[in-house]
Chain A
Amino acid sequence: MRCDLADRVALVTGAAGAIGSAIARRLAENGAAVVILDVDRDGAQAVAATLPDAMAVQADIRDPGATVAAVAATLARYGRLDILINNAGVNTFANRVTVDAFPVEEWERVTAIDLDGLFLMSRAALPPMLAAGRGGRIVNIASVVGLAAMRLQSAFVAAKAGVIHLTRSMALELGPQGILTNAIAPGSVVTDGTRKLFYGADGSFAGRAAEFMQHIPLGRPGMPAEIAEAALFLVSPAAGYVNGQVLAVDGGWTAGSNI
């Protein structure tokens, strides 16, 4: 799809990664200026260098002061903030254990980034968005595991369920001020992280991943561009009456049962 995001300023967290950079690129292609926020400074700068109007900001969203500083840097450069994409997140691949043995430090690491960090970034971005009175859009990148639970990743599952319900709460609170909040729930997507575990660079798969893909109606993982397309719609002028929704982009994973 195409739409007009000229004059809009977007901040994308985790924008050095596969999904974040795809979203940033898709927004830029439609005219938005984009702030590329990532904990990885070099990665953020590399992505920003490929876009026509972008600025890299290094920040750890677990740090409240860093989120406030990132928003201040955005306003200093562009004078406004219209769109927040809360994309930064981590999974807990290294600790495939049940709740009784789940390491406390790992629980805290995952929830601090995926849920607390998303709250802190939103809390930092909202005051100038509200004060400007132009409305705005927030898109939270959740996960299908926030809709349907999975085993052996309880911190990730709980954090993403938290993101989904926080999205609904934000939609109710901020809707009256014209700020629309929605979420995308990606299924399994080909990223740097999942490539190490599952997929080839082109999304090819074998072995354990092939078994997994038998449960996905479309029979393949998603690509970052497919998540970006949904994000573009949700921030576009076309979605002016869409609020509080959780759009699964999951190849039909949550559509029904294959039995």
Chain B
Amino acid sequence: MRDIEVDLSGRSFRLIGDTGPVATAIDAALTVNGATRGAGGEADLLIVMHDLLPTQKPVPPDDAVLSEAGEIVNAGGRIVFVLSVLAGVPARRHAAYSVTMAAAQARMRLLAMQLAPTVLVNAVGAGCIAEAGAVISGDAAMLGHVPLGRPGRIADIVNAVLFLCDPANTYTTGQTLHVDAGWSVGYARNF
């Protein structure tokens, strides 16, 4: 059995924004769990991908789509933002990125308020994620403060997205589930 299985049969999805390896993995996981990639227009599941590497000029997702999210996402649908844990913990060396992520998280919460009760809107906050030695989310400097002492995998982010799309998960909206092994919760080192 896979780590998590959700029944998304009969549901359509759209991914907008960043098209990196996490987006590719989410696309594959939604499909494996029964959802169908839509050609555009309306969808049951809208995944809003943000650039997960702190760059100087993060590329925002399609603003036109977000502005019309209430029309695009069908009743009973879900919107899941995939953003960085830096949304809640601004990083000194990643100023523009931190501010952009905080704004994205605020927009997620706003959409949750606007689209309730017909559409649930949540976020996954990615910590330091690496695959085959390459950091694809966050900053390797975070690892010294990660209680598990290792980076996460792309699958950890994908699994959280699946949970937030889970048809049985029906009372959570406006929340950010950080997938960071506890990096953001306090001081992991002894002082």
> What is the CA–CA distance of A49 and B47 in the complex, to the nearest angstrom?
42
**Total chain B interface residues with beta-carbon distance under 8 A:** 42
Which candidate, B1-9, B36-44, B51-59, B62-70, is the interface stretch facing chain A?
B1-9
Query: Is the beta-carbon distance between B1 and A2 smaller than 8 angstroms?
Result: yes
> What is the CA–CA distance of A219 and B1 in the complex, to the nearest angstrom?
36
Query: Is the beta-carbon distance between A255 and B113 smaller than 8 angstroms?
Result: yes
| Chain A minimum-CB-distance residue to B175 | A248
Q: Which chain B residues numbered 142 to 191 have a C-beta less than 8 Å away from chain A?
A: 147-149, 152-153, 156, 159-160, 162-163, 166, 168-175, 177-182, 184-188
**A contact face: mostly helix, strand, loop, or mixed:** loop
Contact A236 B113, CB 8 Å, known A169-B186, A241-B148, A243-B148: no
**Is residue B73 within 8 Å, beta carbon to beta carbon, of the partner chain?**
no
Query: Is the beta-carbon distance between B180 and A241 smaller than 8 angstroms?
Result: yes
**Is residue B91 within 8 Å, beta carbon to beta carbon, of the partner chain?**
no
Contact A250 B181, CB 8 Å, known A1-B162, A229-B166: no
Contact partner of B147 (CB less than 8 A), chosen from A2, A244, A256, is: A244
A241: shortest Cβ distance to chain B, in Å? Answer: 4
A167: shortest Cβ distance to chain B, in Å? Answer: 8
Contact A172 B172, CB 8 Å, known A238-B163, A241-B156, A257-B113: no
Contact A241 B153, CB 8 Å, known A229-B169, A247-B177, A258-B113: yes
Contact partner of A230 (CB less than 8 A), chosen from B109, B172, B173, B179, is: B172
> What is the CA–CA distance of A187 and B174 in the complex, to the nearest angstrom?
13
**Is residue A194 within 8 Å, beta carbon to beta carbon, of the partner chain?**
no
Range of interface residues on A (Cβ < 8 Å): 35 or more
B30: shortest Cβ distance to chain A, in Å? Answer: 14
| Chain A minimum-CB-distance residue to B174 | A255
**Is residue A127 within 8 Å, beta carbon to beta carbon, of the partner chain?**
no
Query: Is the beta-carbon distance between A226 and B179 smaller than 8 angstroms?
Result: no
| Chain B minimum-CB-distance residue to A185 | B175
Query: Is the beta-carbon distance between B171 and A222 smaller than 8 angstroms?
Result: yes
With a cutoff of 8 Å between Cβ atoms, the chain A residues found around residue B184 in the complex are 244
**Is residue A240 within 8 Å, beta carbon to beta carbon, of the partner chain?**
yes
Interface string of A135-171 (1 = CB under 8 A from B): 0000000000000000000000000000000001101
Interface string of B67-106 (1 = CB under 8 A from A): 0000000000000000000000000000000000000000
| Chain A minimum-CB-distance residue to B151 | A241
Contact partner of B174 (CB less than 8 A), chosen from A240, A241, A254, is: A254
Query: Is the beta-carbon distance between A252 and B116 smaller than 8 angstroms?
Result: yes
Contact partner of B171 (CB less than 8 A), chosen from A168, A223, A244, A257, is: A223
B28: shortest Cβ distance to chain A, in Å? Answer: 15
With a cutoff of 8 Å between Cβ atoms, the chain B residues found around residue A243 in the complex are 147-148, 180-182, 185
B101: shortest Cβ distance to chain A, in Å? Answer: 17
With a cutoff of 8 Å between Cβ atoms, the chain B residues found around residue A169 in the complex are 186
Interface string of A179-197 (1 = CB under 8 A from B): 0000000010000000000
